[in-house]
């Protein structure tokens, strides 16, 4: 038991802390301190270590919309993108209200498609549930994130933005996202988020065979220059648009990422760099958190263990 706890602490909880707007953050899956629901998150983590299921999750990802103006190479919702919305505003409100009542998540991450396509709905959801101690984040490409909108969202209780940037060079990112404006839109969203003192994350999906120490180091230098608090590394899966394409990272790719992840999160020489979140590093050691501390509601209102799983049981 002691060895398990020590190992979890060494890889799950980096020693770095980031203070934003009066709260201290160290992990994207845990609300910043102080937080009304933090005690329940700690209880869930203890139960996870003891292999006890609680029936609650820390983080819910809710895909609000099928609409998106990009053409991303790796889109895991590709089979649903830009189809007619399956859920009305009232459907979404009822589903989230019931889920928060039944499962008591500490955080809700609003995604899509591009969630800013349903800005008014996001405003209503955050206004209703942030008063209950639920932290709200938005996962976005940056498209549609204007100053006026972010001001209103923060006023209602928005905590942070997770903005996808898949390369530090604009041309590569734009090609990957299928839009020559995507990189500029992402940078503007980050600039506005930092201006408003929102917790800010850049999320990167590294590409198979293209993961080198030089790429990762330059990407982290780039993220540092943006003054974001977190960098999230999401490995590609053979799902959605990548279905049957063998796009998952090689062992060599993973080793590069794991080495950098451990070094930058533990060596005090890198304290001024963002905290790195790397879910697949932990998944390979402890198993997927999908259905345990994470859940995903897709654009049809179906509950899944995570964005890459079908149904409430993890696919691994």
Using omega within 30 degrees of 0 as the cis cutoff, is the peptide bond preceding 34 cis?
A: yes
pTM of the shown model: 0.92
Please tell me the predicted confidence (pLDDT) of residue 314.
Answer: 63
Please tell me the predicted confidence (pLDDT) of residue 254.
Answer: 96
E strand or H helix at 284: helix 279-286
Please tell me the predicted confidence (pLDDT) of residue 39.
Answer: 77
Point out the residues of the chain with pLDDT beneath 70: 1-14, 43-56, 312-316
Please tell me the predicted confidence (pLDDT) of residue 1.
Answer: 44
Please tell me the predicted confidence (pLDDT) of residue 38.
Answer: 80
Give the residue among 155, 163, 159, 183 at the shortest CA–CA distance from 116: 163
The torsion angle over the Cα atoms of residues 273, 274, 279 and 282, rounded to 10 degrees, is 50
């Amino acid at each position: 038991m002691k060895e398990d706890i020590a190992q979890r602490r060494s890889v799950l909880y980096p020693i770095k802390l980031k203070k934003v707007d009066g709260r201290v953050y160290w992990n994207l899956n845990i609300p910043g301190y102080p937080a009304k629901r933090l005690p329940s998150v700690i209880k869930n983590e203890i139960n996870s270590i003891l292999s006890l299921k609680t029936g609650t999750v820390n983080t819910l990802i809710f895909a609000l919309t099928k609409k998106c103006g990009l053409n991303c190479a790796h889109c895991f919702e590709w089979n649903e993108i830009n189809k007619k919305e399956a859920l009305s505003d009232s459907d979404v409100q009822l589903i989230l209200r019931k889920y928060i009542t039944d499962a008591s998540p500490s955080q809700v991450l609003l995604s899509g498609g591009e969630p800013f396509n349903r800005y008014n709905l996001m405003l209503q959801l955050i206004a209703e549930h942030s008063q209950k101690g639920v932290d709200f984040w938005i996962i976005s490409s940056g498209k549609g994130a204007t100053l006026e909108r972010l001001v209103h969202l923060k006023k209602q209780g928005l905590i942070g933005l997770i903005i996808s940037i898949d390369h530090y060079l604009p041309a590569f990112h734009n090609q990957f996202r299928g839009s020559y404006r995507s990189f500029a839109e992402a940078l503007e969203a980050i600039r506005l988020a930092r201006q408003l003192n929102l917790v800010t994350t850049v999320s990167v999906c590294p590409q198979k065979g293209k993961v080198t120490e030089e790429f990762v180091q330059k990407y982290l230098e780039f993220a540092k220059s943006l003054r974001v608090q977190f960098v999230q590394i999401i490995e590609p899966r053979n799902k959605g648009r990548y279905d049957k394409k063998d796009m998952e990272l090689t062992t060599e790719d993973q080793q590069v990422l794991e080495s950098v992840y451990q070094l930058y999160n533990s060596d005090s020489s890198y304290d001024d760099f963002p905290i790195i979140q790397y879910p697949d590093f932990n998944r390979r050691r402890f198993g997927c958190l999908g259905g345990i501390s994470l859940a995903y509601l897709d654009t049809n209102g179906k509950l899944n263990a995570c964005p890459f799983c079908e149904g409430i049981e993890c696919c691994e």
